[in-house]
Amino acid sequence: MAVNQPVCIEVDRSQASKLKLLLYKLFNKNPLAKNSPGKYNILFLLAEDQMHTGSDGTKEHQKAFRKHKLVLQSLTLVKAHTEEIMQELDKPFHANGTSYTLRDVILDIPFPLVFDKDSRYKLFNSVDVASKGEDVKQGFVYLTTYKDRSDIAKGAVAVLPAYVRHLLGNEAVKLWFAPPEIRRYIDLGEAF
């Protein structure tokens, strides 16, 4: 999970209120993380000096910050190790007249793991490639989930190639998981 750091956006004063409303709607009112910008399940929090003035603005900022902090404290990191070989989170795969990405598939896994009906709860909160350190060199992918779901999430990550094969077929598995040097072994049925 990336370190929480504020993002600073400069905008013309005449557009500031429109942008603030847009970001609020996109991040805070969107029920599905996969439809949020960057497909992240995060809140848009204004800088403290940008909130409404007076006690109401301070209370609202404190309330939003507490909620954000509680969500972050309830999340845990699940690393997809090199044996899962996730290669392409955002490369599109077309099947059944629809375009899919591995990120979409992962973020759509329901919780509990009941696939025959829609669930508003998802197993994973976010998924992204490692951005720094030794994990980048090893190609780790970070997935976040709630702490009480971590064992189920680790199991889901371990069987993700098989799940993708069941859902979309071998070509999606080859596209999203296998590096080029072992794709030929998948064609021969020797891997995965």
**Residue 177 belongs to a domain:** yes
Which of 59, 75, 91 is a domain's end point?
75
- The strand order across the sheet containing 126-129 reads 75-80, 141-146, 126-129
> What global pTM score does this model have?
0.66
pLDDT of 142 reads 86
Containing structural domain, residue 176: 76-187
**Residue 83 belongs to a domain:** yes
* 153 and 178, same domain (yes or no): yes
**CA dist 76 → 4, 36, 70, 107, 153 (Å):** 14, 20, 12, 15, 10
Give the residue-averaged pLDDT of 25-39. 70
pLDDT of 92 reads 94
Q: C-alpha angle 62/39/58, rounded to 5°?
A: 10
pLDDT level of residue 79 (50, 70, 90 thresholds): confident
pLDDT of 119 reads 75
Q: Give the helix, strand, coil percentages of the chain, each rounded to 5.
A: 50, 10, 40
Which of 84-98, 107-121, 146-160 has the highest mean predicted lDDT (pLDDT)?
146-160
Rounded to the nearest integer, the mean pLDDT of the chain is: 76
Tell whether the torsion through CA atoms of 157, 158, 164 and 166 is positive or negative. negative
**Residue 111 belongs to a domain:** yes
pLDDT level of residue 34 (50, 70, 90 thresholds): low
pLDDT level of residue 98 (50, 70, 90 thresholds): very high
Total tally of structural domains belonging to the chain: 2
Query: Where do runs of H (alpha helix) occur along the chain?
Result: 13-28, 55-74, 102-107, 134-138, 150-158, 160-168, 170-176, 180-187
For 82-94, give the DSSP string.
Answer: TTT----SS--EE
Give the residue-averaged pLDDT of 77-99. 80
Please write the tens of the pLDDT for every residue from 137-160.
777 888 888 898 999 999 888 888
Tell whether the torsion through CA atoms of 37, 91, 105 and 192 is positive or negative. negative
* 82 and 66, same domain (yes or no): no
**Residue 192 belongs to a domain:** no
Q: How far is CA 100 from the centre of its chain?
A: 14
**Residue 5 belongs to a domain:** no
**Residue 2 belongs to a domain:** no
Which of 26-35, 75-84, 108-117 has the highest mean predicted lDDT (pLDDT)?
108-117
**Residue 4 belongs to a domain:** no
The three-class DSSP label of residue 129 is strand
Q: Cα(176)–Cα(91) distance, rounded to whole angstroms?
A: 7
